[in-house]
Structure 1
Amino acid sequence: MKLRGVLETVLYAADLEAAERFYAGLLGLQLESRRPGVFLFFRIGPAMLLIFDPEAAARSREVPSHGAVGPGHVCFAVPEAELPLWKARLEEAGVEIEHVHRWPRGGWSFYVRDPAGNSVEFATPRIWGLPEPESF
């Protein structure tokens, strides 16, 4: 018996319309489900990115209430050859590149902020000494 991976990651955003424009429009994530004023659910590979309105999540009755204070963080795995292309795409869209980092194990990543202020990182798996998945 062992855990097989991370199934879902949650971020919080009070303006779900801005979050949808960023994650679906700019990043191209597939929107699986939406409940206005409550959540957006995006599919990304074999996992899900869930974005909740923080007030709606705090008063949830369907599942245990949840939430976080302050910005969250998510890191998207990107093939090494595509990382500069993603950086250029975001810059062309007017998204500020907050930080670029070269990692001791190899590889590099860069950080931006989504419209809610969450930290969004784009990185090659090499930053953790991991190979690029065959699914890339």
Structure 2
Amino acid sequence: MGADLNVPSPSLSILETVLYARDLAAIEDFYRRVLGLEPFAVVPGRHVFYRCGNQMLLIFNPDATRHPPKPGALPVPPHGMEGQGHVCFRVSAEDLDEWRSKLTALGIEIEAAFEWPKGGQSIYFRDPAGNCLEFAEARIWGIS
């Protein structure tokens, strides 16, 4: 089935990014202590949500979200994943140096730090659930 080329394409942007973790208490501590994020919404054992600028970072316990919603609950379809996810936080070049120093001071291993072939730098590290987190300049994607 082909796309109708006469229909205008809606403008898109990312509203939510989702990671999964079973130990939400460790996640909440890490994201507060390391990234300075305060929870926007918490349901113990189910999720911790964070506002990041004009976007949301949602961290769910996959064991709690794999089940269909109970009668009367919001009809959110079951979801969840196994394994490590990835999210990249947009930072300036100056902020990247500060984040590198902060992670090092907190004893958090930086797994990789490099300049991309077309410009811009990234550093990679992990949260307590093993999710791969990245700080990067937007210019790695040609975004100013």
Same fold (TM over 0.5): yes
Q: Which runs of 5+ in 1 are unaligned?
A: 132-136
Match of 2:43 among 35, 42, 46: 35
Normalising by structure 1, we get a TM-score of: 0.92
Runs of 4+ residues over 4 Å off in structure 1: none
- Measured at CA, do residues 122 and 73 of structure 1 come closer, stay the same or move farther in structure 2, by a change above 3 Å? same
Residue 102 of structure 1, CA deviation: 1.2
Residue 2 of structure 1, CA deviation: 1.8
SS of the residue corresponding to residue 9 of structure 1 reads strand
1:81-111 deviation line (CA, Å, top 9, x unaligned): 1101001101111110011121112011010
Query: How many residue pairs are counted as aligned between the two chains?
Result: 131
Q: Which runs of 5+ in 2 are unaligned?
A: 1-8
Which structure is larger by alpha-carbon Rg, 1 or 2?
Answer: 2
After TM superposition, the structure 1 = structure 2 runs for residues 10-49 of structure 1, keeping only pairs within 5 Å, are 10-49=18-57
Residue 103 of structure 1: aligned partner: 116
After TM superposition, the structure 1 = structure 2 runs for residues 59-74 of structure 1, keeping only pairs within 5 Å, are 59-61=67-69, 62=74, 63-74=76-87
Whether 2:83 is the aligned partner of 1:79: answer no
Normalising by structure 2, we get a TM-score of: 0.87
1:16-48 deviation line (CA, Å, top 9, x unaligned): 011001112210113110000000000000000
SS of the residue corresponding to residue 134 of structure 2 reads strand
Residue 60 of structure 1, CA deviation: 4.5
SS of the residue corresponding to residue 116 of structure 1 reads coil
RMSD of the TM alignment (CA)? 1.1
1:46-96 deviation line (CA, Å, top 9, x unaligned): 000000011001124141011112100000000111101001101111110
